[in-house]
Amino acid sequence: MKPAFSPWLAELSEAEVEPLVLASVLLSLVVVYLAAKIGGELCARVNLPAVLGELIGGVIVGVSALHLIVFPASGGEVQSLLMNLVGMTTGQAPGDLLRVFQGESEVISVLAELGVIVLLFEIGLESDLKELIRVGPQAAVVAVVGVVAPFAAGTAGLILIFGIDTIPAVFAGAALTATSIGITAKVLAEMQQLSSREGQIIIGAAVLDDVLGIIVLAVVASLAKTGEIEILSVAYLVAGAATFLVGSIFIGRLLSPYFVMVVNQMRTRGQVIISALIFAFVLSYIAAAIQLEAILGAFAAGLILAETSKHKEIEEQISPIADMLVPIFFIVVGARTDISVLNPLNPENRAGLVIASFLVVVAVLGKVITGLAVFGQPGINRLAIGVGMIPRGEVGLVFAGVGAASGVLTESLDAAIIVMVIFTTFLAPPLLRVVFKDDEGPVSPATPAPELKTADKAGS
């Protein structure tokens, strides 16, 4: 059923709608930044990661509480109190603001995606490619265990314990495989643990986990639609992911001297940061075009440019851009999270909460045990590696969204997945602080390269 637009709104031109969309976006950004700073500051003052405060701030201003930052749902209604405020201050009736609401939501969503792309680009710049390659085998083992263990345990438990049909159980099990690299990376950066061996293994494993998660999602989505797995599509994803990650880094390292040469020839303002963003966005586009995550391209671009003589300039100049865009991503993740599914007083939630309790246990243990799979690293903090793989964040919500849209998941199973995502997302940041609490600096110093980068940054 199509939304019932008023006759007056139907006659509005784009020129008349655009100023209202811009005004709504500006007001939304005011709410986003206030929520991010207040939440981040409160958590920082009690020695919790600021990103946890941003996520909580998003929950408060989102669909779970104040309904300020919300996104269009089916039915063509405006649910945002912020949009109602726009209607009152501009003289428009709430029913006439649907197009404005949709436009504002699309802009905020795009800004959030840009935020996580910039975040992963920044994380790539602060990582060390040589160290990542050195710990690559360990990261690969951690990633594979972190996918196989929760998937197998979750699927088998749902079938055997709860009697859930095979395809819905497989879909829910697949949701357990995801890892939110954005949340973990931000916490590690705040704690200055990115250059530790633990940090590099976590980041490497999370990147590979993201790739494996995309492949798993494609497989279970195909299974849900057709009842069979399309081998060619899976093979295409695997080949594309491997070719992109290896090829982009290899070719990028060959071309990086030319990047520096071109930048040195420029005479206009912002030549370093604009050139770096062009490079990052090109790789992000290629990744998205071959059905991977755009953030993988941004991370690869950061790794490549971290090897150039311009890396310190790029790091310094990307920081204010990250400060502006990254909080939008975390606020949006929190705002999209509906914690009403946690209410046990609602009879409709109880079945989901029982299943969710099982999924949460499997989700946590299935990632924590990945630290035990690390080999050839004496003295390493294996618990920290396992905890770093716990958060599902926006990746888990994508699995839940695809499952709900396909009609495979029952309401209770869909709610259970959402509860699992909420718990793992909010549990991981403080747990990471705990497992690293006894360390003054990086838990296990990595190779000299990251230490030199840290020293240079401190000196600058």
Higher pLDDT, 325 or 374: 325
Rg value, the chain, Cα? 22
- The pLDDT, as a whole number, for residue 57 is 92
- HSE-CB at 145 with a 13 A cutoff on CA atoms is 24
- The pLDDT, as a whole number, for residue 211 is 76
Same domain, yes or no, for 317 and 367? yes
Same domain, yes or no, for 133 and 269? yes
Question: Rounded distance, CA 328 to CA 222, Å?
Answer: 32
Q: What is the pLDDT of residues 319-344, one digit of tens each?
A: 999 999 999 988 988 888 777 877 78
- The pLDDT, as a whole number, for residue 84 is 80
**Residue-by-residue DSSP string for 114-139:** HHHHHHHHHHHHHS-HHHHHHTHHHH
Same domain, yes or no, for 50 and 166? no
Same domain, yes or no, for 213 and 354? yes
Question: Rounded distance, CA 327 to CA 37, Å?
Answer: 9
Question: Rounded distance, CA 340 to CA 419, Å?
Answer: 10
pLDDT (average), residues 182-204:
83
Q: Which two tokens stand for residue 138?
A: 């360990």
- The answer to whether position 432 is within a domain reads yes
- 66: phi then psi, degrees, rounded to nearest 5: -85, -15
Instruction: Give the range of the structural domain holding residue 96, as residue numbers without chain letter.
Output: 16-107
Q: What is the pLDDT of residues 151-177, one digit of tens each?
A: 999 999 999 998 888 888 888 888 888
Lowest mean pLDDT of 76-80, 143-147, 437-441, name the range.
437-441
Same domain, yes or no, for 102 and 132? no
- The CATH code of the domain that includes 359 is 1.20.1530.20
Question: Rounded distance, CA 120 to CA 394, Å?
Answer: 14
- The pLDDT, as a whole number, for residue 317 is 93
- Number of domains, the chain: 2
Tell me the percentage of the chain whose pLDDT exceeds 90.
Answer: 21
Residue 434 has a CB neighbour count (10 Å cut-off) of 11
Same domain, yes or no, for 42 and 134? no
Residue 278, pLDDT > 90, answer yes
- The answer to whether position 6 is within a domain reads no
Same domain, yes or no, for 147 and 24? no
